[in-house]
Amino acid sequence: MPSFHKQNHTRLAPMEAELAAAIGARVRLARQQAGLSLSALAARAGVGKGSLSELENGTRNPTLSTLYALADALDAPLATFLVAPGSFVASPGIAARLLDARRHDDGTTVEVYLLSLEPAAAHRSGAHGPGVTEHLLITHGRARVGALGREQTVGVGETAAWVSDVEHGYEALDDAPVEAVLTIRSPGAGSE
């Protein structure tokens, strides 16, 4: 997985600009389909209206945290905004690359990511929708993961699973990087 990159909000490299524009278009479409104004979605997601406008117009690199906040506010899986397998998003200390996403006939969505944490990184994620579960397999390093107050420590070859409809987090241990495969399952209406 590429090393973490600092977010540059003024000028994007051509590949980043293309991806940012595609993600922005998907965010705008999801917002419009939900019948929300730019202001309403920004308020619901807890992001600045100007930042959301820049994101929708492809002039701002979206962070993982911002995309999760928008996905949660729209009651949509994160993969809704990612263009295709291989799409990469990051926030300080954490990065995720979409490996696969599937929507089943019953509305259940399954997303699979390669997750990377920088040494000593700690990332907190807000609650996702009702019944959303996460399953994590550590492939390198050790991490403390799960619902806050009920975290589990896992190492290479070990797994952890938790319901992520509460605040949860990921923390790299031993001052070493962590790589893991993260699967997120979002139930469809009536399939919990």
Instruction: Give the model confidence (pLDDT) of 149-181 as tens digits.
Output: 999 999 999 999 999 999 999 999 999 999 999
Mean of pLDDT values over 58-78: 86
Q: What is the DSSP letter of 84?
A: S
Mean of pLDDT values over 103-109: 90
Instruction: Give the model confidence (pLDDT) of 39-59 as tens digits.
Output: 999 999 999 999 999 999 988
- Whether the full predicted model's pTM is greater than 0.85, yes or no, is no
**The CATH classification of domain 93-186, taken from the options 2.60.120.10, 3.30.70.270, 2.60.40.10, 1.10.3720.10:** 2.60.120.10
Residues of the chain with CATH 2.60.120.10: 93-186
Q: Which CATH class is domain 14-85?
A: mainly alpha
Inter-CA distances, 112 with 17, 60, 100, 183, Å = 24, 25, 5, 4
Is the separation of the CB atoms in 41 and 71 below 8 Å? no
Residues of the chain with CATH 1.10.260.40: 14-85
Closest CA to 82 of 17, 25, 151: 25
Dihedral angle sign, alpha carbons of residues 67, 71, 77, 80: negative
Q: Name, in order, each residue with C-beta under 8 angstroms of 50's C-beta and a sequence gap of 6 or more.
A: none
